[in-house]
Chains A and B, each alone.
Chain A
Amino acid sequence: MTYKRSTGEKVFACFNVCFMILLCFATLYPFIYILFASLSNPAEIASYRGLLFLPQGFSLDAYKAVIENPMVMTGYRNTLLYVVGGTLINLFMTTLGAYALSRPHVYFKNHIMLVIVITMVFSGGLIPSFLLINNLGMLNTPWALLLPGAINSFNLIIMRTAFQSIPVSLEESARIDGANDWTIMTRIIIPLSMPVIAVMILWYAVGHWNSYFNALIYLRDRELFPLQLVLREILISNSTDNMMTGAATGDRMDIGITIKYATIIVSTLPILVLYPFLQKYFVHGVMIGALKE
């Protein structure tokens, strides 16, 4: 279908494309800058001013310092444990709730939904939550990061909607063969809902990977710190000192800068690498959520 565009529309289309290119540049350039700066020679980058379009010199010293740093590596290991453990707990709990509440005949189903929806509007807030974790004896243990967010109510509702849309006829024959609800959930409903479950895995996992605030509040022991908390010390509190013990005093400041950039790259790399392959699933999830509303 051809449709003749007016001059004004052509000018607008041109501006629009330019704007989009500018937006993409503004989004990507910070990462490009950090990547190039992290690969640069520390002394050269320290005296460099302005935008960066290629690494200044080349050096992997910063990456070496990051990888040899015990805090970063412990943080990485802890984060992986929290991501895997936390996401498994999330999935288990969310699926249980979503399945049970998606069944047509359950007593008090609507009351239970109300109990859940209320928590989306009201919460006890920071201090009572902190005291609860303290009273449960979970302060300074990994459980403080894994259990309090075990179910995201919004995700539970999305998953329940997906389960409800599966035709009842599919499970009826299984029920005649004597299958119980647990079998129906694990053998029929879950395999048929893999797209939505993939979205849940991604959302929960990224959430765990990126979260730092709960760790900041609940953890004291540095051996338990997730990567984001280590990052906070390096990026915000400027404490690259303990990484530079090997460097001569004159280079200390310089390499500090590239260490910062290298830490950002090392900690963000998994997301940057996986992102292009996964983004359609992320978006898929938002669409499900949007249709629900």
Chain B
Amino acid sequence: MHKRSLIKRDLVRNRHIYLMLVPVLVYYGIFHYGPMYGLLIAFKDYGMADGVWGSPWVGLTHFQNFFENPYFWRLLRNTLTISLYELLFAFPAPIILALLLNELRVVMFKRVVQTISYLPHFISIVVVAGMMVDFFARDGLINSIVSFFGYEPIAFWQESGWFRSLYVSSGIWQGIGWGSIIYLAAMSSIDPTLYDAARIDGAGRWKQTLNITIPGIMPTIVILFILNVGSMLAVGSEKIILLYNPLTYETADVISTYVYRKGILGADFGYSAAVGLFNSVISFILLILANTISKRVSEHKLW
């Protein structure tokens, strides 16, 4: 009784706050939890007319079809290799850049380099992909340099062997500067007296980097690494569908692009929703695994 009157008083006094929350909750309900509910169609034979609830259940048929699909292994392999390339090359690149930027003595120069290196982050992927397609075309800029050195021009976009390198390296070009900001922020929060003490002990820049800077940014590195492992299967389709073509499907077709072709272009909704769900579930398992391993090994963790 007493509690109820308290709630009533709170509802009256804070009515504006609760009113403000209404559109926010409605938004999350419709646009975030709506699609989660819609995932039910992964277990159904979805028909537009029947709706999500009315369509008949089919159990795990869609998943079974996907696992038996001749392209299943190719999709899984491509998704994992592209992510692995990114973990090996694109993940360390901003860390190395941040460490190198940290060694620059002239503040003005450092600021100019930073400003320039952030720029590609703000260019749309359509433009980046368009520039890549053009520069690496058979008669493009890169091939004119290749033939200047006396080699045969390379058909970069027709040979599947090149796709992963082009995809990952253009990602590094676009993201290296922006990615370094978070590490520079972590470096700026390292206690400067540590460096003074090391200098008195006779440690040079290299020793200082190795023993103070890198341990100082380790928590940030580990957390971002865990997040990266968690998104390994989530290789985005946005950039790949701009760059790939049937000739390079052999290495370029990943799970998300397959979902796009089957679902959006092919209107096979139940099946492609199931493929998407498979992707998310494996991603989530990877995230938990990475976090658990990191907790055991390094004591750094996401949660």
The answer, yes or no, to whether A222 is at the interface (CB within 8 Å) is no
Instruction: Tell me the complex Cα distance, A27–B123, Å.
Output: 12
Contact among B32, B118, B269 for A127, CB-based, below 8 A: B269
**Does residue B126 face the partner (Cβ distance < 8 Å to A)?**
yes
Q: Is the CB of B17 within 8 A of A236?
A: no
Size class of the B contact interface (CB-based, 8 Å): 35 or more
Choose among B127, B144, B205, B237 the residue that contacts A231 (Cβ–Cβ < 8 A). B127
Chain A's interface size range is 35 or more
> Chain A, 26-65, contact with B by CB distance < 8 Å: what is the 0/1 string?
1110100110000000000000011100000000000000
Residues of B within 8 A of A236 (CB): 126, 129-130, 133, 242
User: Separation in Å of the B175 CB from the closest CB of chain A?
Assistant: 12
Q: Does B299 contact A (CB under 8 A)?
A: no
A148 to chain B, nearest CB (A): 5
Do A125 and B103 have beta carbons less than 8 Å apart?
no
CA separation between A210 and B129, bound complex, in Å? 13
Task: Take A9-B206, A264-B131 as given contacts and tell me if A20 and B276 are in contact as well, using a CB distance cutoff of 8 Å.
Answer: no
How many whole Å from B46's CB to the nearest CB in chain A? 8
Determine the chain A residues whose CB is within 8 A of the CB of B117 once the complex forms.
Answer: 23-24, 27
Cβ 8 A contact of A131, one of B38, B116, B130, B284: B38
Residues of chain B within 8 A (CB-CB) of A93 are 23-24, 27
Q: Please encode chain A, from 188 to 225, with 1 for each CB lying within 8 Å of some chain B CB and 0 for all others.
A: 00000000000000000010011111000100000000
Q: Does A213 contact B28, Cβ atoms closer than 8 Å?
A: no
Q: Is B123 a contact partner of A271 (Cβ separation < 8 A)?
A: yes
Binary contact track B173-211/A, C-beta < 8 Å → 1, others 0: 100111001100110000000000001000011100000
On whether the beta carbons of B130 and A128 are closer than 8 Å, the reply is no
CB of A122 within 8 A of CB of B36, answer yes
Known contacts being A51-B145, A236-B242, is A126 close to B263, with CB within 8 Å? yes
Within 8 A of A (CB), among B131-146: 131, 133-135, 141, 144-145
Question: Quick one: which of B101, B144, B273 has the most chain A CB within 10 A?
Answer: B273
Q: Is the interface of A mostly helix, strand, loop or mixed?
A: helix
A182 contacts chain B at the CB level, 8 A cutoff: yes
A286 at the interface (CB under 8 A from B): yes
Measured CA separation A210–B117 after assembly (Å): 18
Give the CA-CA distance A206 to B118 in the complex, in Å: 14
The answer, yes or no, to whether A228 is at the interface (CB within 8 Å) is yes
| Contact status of A115 and B41, CB under 8 A, knowing A13-B105, A27-B116, A268-B127 | no
**In the assembled complex, how far is the CB of residue B23 from the closest CB belonging to chain A, in whole angstroms?**
6
Which residues of A have CB within 8 Å of B122?
206, 210, 271, 275, 282
- Write the A108-124 contact mask toward B (1 if CB under 8 angstroms, else 0): 00001001100101111
A129 located at the interface, meaning its Cβ lies under 8 Å from any Cβ of chain B in the complex: yes
Q: List 8 A-B pairs, Cβ < 8 Å.
A: A100-B17, A103-B17, A129-B35, A132-B34, A236-B242, A268-B127, A279-B119, A286-B178
Top-4 shortest CB links A-B: A124-B35, A235-B130, A128-B38, A210-B124
Known: A23-B176, A181-B16, A290-B186. 15 other contacts (CB 8 A): A9-B204, A12-B205, A12-B206, A13-B103, A16-B100, A16-B103, A27-B117, A30-B135, A50-B141, A115-B28, A122-B280, A125-B280, A127-B263, A128-B273, A211-B124
